[in-house]
A and B are shown apart, each in its own frame.
Chain A
Amino acid sequence: MIFKKTLMATTALTVAASGAFAQDMADSMTIVSWGGAYQSSQQKAYSEPYVAMHPDVSVTWDESSNEAVAKLRAMNEAGNITWDLVDVVAADAIRLCDEGLAMEYDPEELLAPGDDGSSAEDDFGDLIVSDCYIPQIVYSTTFGYRTDMVPEGVEPPSQICDVFDVEKYPGKRALEKRPINNMEWALLCDGVAKDDVYDVLETAEGQDQALAKLDTIKDDVIWWSAGADTPQLLADGEVFMGSTYNGRLYSVIVEQEQPVAMMWDAQVFDLDGWIIPTGLPEDRLARVKDFVKFATDTTRLADQAKYISYGPARASSAPLVPEDMKQHMPTDPANAGNTFLYNYSFWADYRDDIDAKFQSWLAK
């Protein structure tokens, strides 16, 4: 009864406060993200300023992005969606969209136009890789190496193929325990031209070729499955070089001051962003839309780059990124000499097939 009264009172207040045309908005929100430094950068850049503007709104954070796709599917089947906004990588967003678990949206209606006057659609450009996806940042999967483990008299590694050269650079490598990225790098270092990589990888022979190349370093690889593994392995000196997300390496180098350096060559760009689950009640949806519009505007996206070395997804945010952060951005021209963009449509089709082969190869 009391609850109902409060509800009616708050509703009345909200309506009164925001004028006759405003919709009812829920006063709490559950946002799902990855935890760690990344989530705290989102809290500082997005949710704290938002709550400062709307003191009656409470925001709960859930660190479940890792299993977001499976959990959203389960919630959807149970008919009870408890999340309002979910942070996922682009490949997951495409699958959620495919499964009807993420809401399609209209960029012009949901997102604010860019500060430089460009429309939201132009400002995000190609990064809106799915009708359900609201990109936030560009990150990359790239290599870092221990500077103190470089053999004497040898140049530090700077090319992707140095990873596959165990004679010149002896030592363990850390690679992710999945085919994505590893297969591309292997082909690239087995003489396949960058533009042909996916044409080759489509064929069974190409997949065997990539696995054969990986075979040459298999004994020297420690396979990681969590983003924190490689930084830890590098810090402990367990591996000489390893792939991980560039922001993780940034914190190893800049914050923990470990003798580690970046090797940006053949880094693979990927996106991280929001999806709104389908089937939210109207008041919660209205609140989420209001938050998203705020949190993805030009200033907010640029703000996030103060706290973590990921590039904002809006073109108009780039000039606002702090100077000292620019050199750590994967998109900085000095770092982006040779880059890949995660091939979403290829991996959506070939993921199951290649993964079966990769895991079978790995287990042997």
Chain B
Amino acid sequence: MTDATAGAAPGQKKPGKVLAADGRPLKESLNRALRLQKMRALMLIAPLLLFVLLTFIAPIADMLFRSIQNGIVSETLPRTTERLADWDAKTGELPDEAVYEGLYYDLFIAAERKLHTRLGSRLNYEMTGMSSLFRQSGRALDDIGDVYFDQFDDLDKNWDEAEPWAELMGDPAWLTKMQAWKKADGKKMPKFVLADGMDELLPRTAETYAAFAEYTQVDEGKSLVKEEPWVLVHTALYQDLMEKDVTGYTGPQAEMLKAADAAVGGFESITFKEGMQEVDEDWLDHGTWQTIQMYSPEFTNGYFLNAVDMQKTPDGPEFRNENQQIYGLLFKRTMFMSLMITGSCILLGYPVAWLLANLPMRQANLLMILVLLPFWTSLLVRTSAWKVMLQQQGVINDVLVWLGLVNDADRLVMINNQFGTIVAMTHILLPFMILPLYSVMQTIPPTYLRAAKSLGATNWTAFWRVYFPQSVPGIGAGSILVFILSIGYYITPEIVGGTTGTFISNRIAYHISSSLNWGLAAALGTILLAVVLGLYYAYDKIVGIDNVKLG
């Protein structure tokens, strides 16, 4: 505020506080109007924004996130992974009995819920043989529990019955409701409630029975007074009775429990380690445990390491054997070939765009249709047509042989290699180069060239010093379009690329649809995305993205 305004007549408002018609300060009012306008604009684009967010950004983010997700191991084997955390793989010794106990419990529950094979196929990406180890273990696992189950059963037939178990483990109030429940009533089954103090008296039994109850009621939709528990629960009961004192227990089925307590001391038993060994020898393999431990955390860098030809080892990341390295080579090849394709698109597209921009309207329109024609043909048809053209018994070779330029015995190999991919993809992506070039060239006034020539420039100088610099933004736009499109292409390289002309995207497609290793596919995709963004950034720094024009 200056002195002049401060010295203005008293009673007048300060000029900084100009008011609008409604008495608010003008600035505030203007801001409000602008904000409203912005909101309105935002509302208008909201459907599109939401659509893009929900159907495009979110799924992609979710897919990319899979490249580090690894929760499946600790979710399927919670006890095992927790106990395995302290195990030191470098000692060369196998984990202790507690880990095997955890494994038996986890694997049993996972096998009942049919989740174990899923984990097997996940771990098989890291170590060959895991898939069948888990599948077979799921089948053979009952043998361990049967040892105890048979002995309990011999002691008292009620240990094989659903109802006594439900009475022993369940809260009496719940049990009454459960017994009264009928499926025909259409009401929801009363959710299992553990009897008071049971989790202290028989902790393992309570835990496993609760898991059984949840599975039976929720997944199977069956009644707990009809289904006898898993043999896992009998194993747990044996362990609890060996450790805990149940003489003070007075609840339901106390006699049955006490009789069992008195008898378990004489039960035949096996260690979980022996049991798992009988299930499959590989559970005594050091490598199996190393792999499980290495992939216990909820997030892993394993997929990214795989994507750059490395692998996790107890001593940190290491490069894979040379005969298994492939992704580095494919990334380099993808870059090289995309650049080649972009380059040939510029070479072929530039003259066409120039013609389009300079011919009279009638011819230009006809030419435009010819440029767009490939767009209206199926991609597969175009690619297959190239096959017919380029193959050894194909049109081009036949013509060359007929002309006597090529010997019939050594026809040119022009397909199923890099050459084939570059030719076919240049053809397919050419319109993406021509169209931006054309629209930029149309804006260049022809008078400039004439002026240059009238000032004494040769044709070449006029083109190179006057015309070409003005068309560079078109080349930039076309190049970015073609390069980014070609980097992600996979159908054409798959059909005409053979072994040397395939891209990284072919491997991504393979891992998405065939090997189902979505984590690795996501890691490869993330790297590809990062590379594209990096190149875009570099382009912006070197050429400047403001120089790119689509018209």
Contact = CB atoms under 8 A, between A and B. Distances in A.
Interface of A: 66-67, 69-70, 73, 95, 97-100, 172, 177, 208, 222-223, 225, 236-238, 345, 348-353, 355-357, 359-364
A141 B163 CA distance: 55
A238 B391 contact: yes
8 contacts: A70-B513, A99-B117, A100-B118, A238-B392, A349-B130, A351-B515, A363-B330, A363-B499
Interface in B361-392: 391-392
A98 B515 contact: no
Contacts of A360: 323-326, 329
B324 A223 contact: no
B512 interface: yes
Nearest to A172: B392
Given A99-B118, A352-B125, A362-B499, 16 more contacts: A67-B513, A98-B120, A98-B121, A100-B117, A172-B392, A208-B323, A223-B498, A237-B393, A238-B392, A348-B124, A348-B131, A349-B129, A349-B132, A357-B323, A359-B326, A359-B507
B121 A95 contact: yes
Nearest to B329: A363
A356 B516 contact: no
B401 interface: no
B502 interface: yes
A361 B507 CA distance: 14
B338 interface: no
Contacts of B132: 345, 348-349
Interface residues of B, number: 38
B513 to A, nearest CB: 4
A223 B499 contact: yes
Nearest to B138: A98
B494 interface: yes
B326 A349 contact: no
Interface in B202-219: none
A30 to B, nearest CB: 19
B335 to A, nearest CB: 15
B114 interface: yes
Contacts of B499: 177, 223, 362-363
B121 A99 contact: yes
Nearest to A98: B117
Contacts of B515: 351-352, 355
B83 interface: no
A360 B325 CA distance: 6
A22 B324 CA distance: 57
Given A70-B512, A348-B132, A363 B118 contact: no
Contacts of B394: 236
B500 interface: yes
B68 interface: no
A225 B502 CA distance: 12
Contacts of B326: 356, 359-360, 363
What 8 A-B pairs come out closest when comparing CB atoms?
Answer: A98-B117, A360-B326, A70-B513, A353-B128, A362-B499, A356-B324, A67-B513, A237-B393
A361 B135 CA distance: 30
B481 interface: no
A145 B118 CA distance: 41
Interface string B273-298: 00000000000000000000000000
Given A70-B516, A236-B393, A357 B324 contact: yes
A355 B507 CA distance: 11
Interface-centre pick from B117, B323, B494 (highest chain A CB count, 10 A)? B323
Interface in B479-511: 494, 498-500, 502, 507
A236 B395 CA distance: 11
B114 A349 contact: no
Nearest to A278: B114
A276 B143 CA distance: 30
B528 interface: no
A349 B513 contact: no
B120 A69 contact: no
B128 A352 contact: yes
B368 to A, nearest CB: 34
B416 interface: yes
Given A70-B513, A363-B502, A98 B131 contact: yes
Nearest to A73: B516
A174 to B, nearest CB: 10
Given A208-B323, A356-B326, A363-B330, A349 B131 contact: yes
A334 B494 CA distance: 37
B396 interface: no
Contact of B124 (A73, A222, A352): A352
Contacts of A352: 124-125, 128, 515, 517
B370 to A, nearest CB: 28
Contacts of A172: 392
Nearest to A99: B118
A353 to B, nearest CB: 4
Nearest to A232: B387
B128 A349 contact: yes
Nearest to A353: B128
A350 B323 contact: no
B416 A222 contact: yes
B115 interface: yes
A98 B114 CA distance: 8
Interface in B108-123: 114-115, 117-118, 120-121
Contacts of A100: 114-115, 117-118
Nearest to A225: B494
Contacts of A69: 513-514, 516
A353 B512 CA distance: 17
Contacts of B391: 236, 238
A353 B100 CA distance: 27
Interface-centre pick from B120, B326, B391, B494 (highest chain A CB count, 10 A)? B326
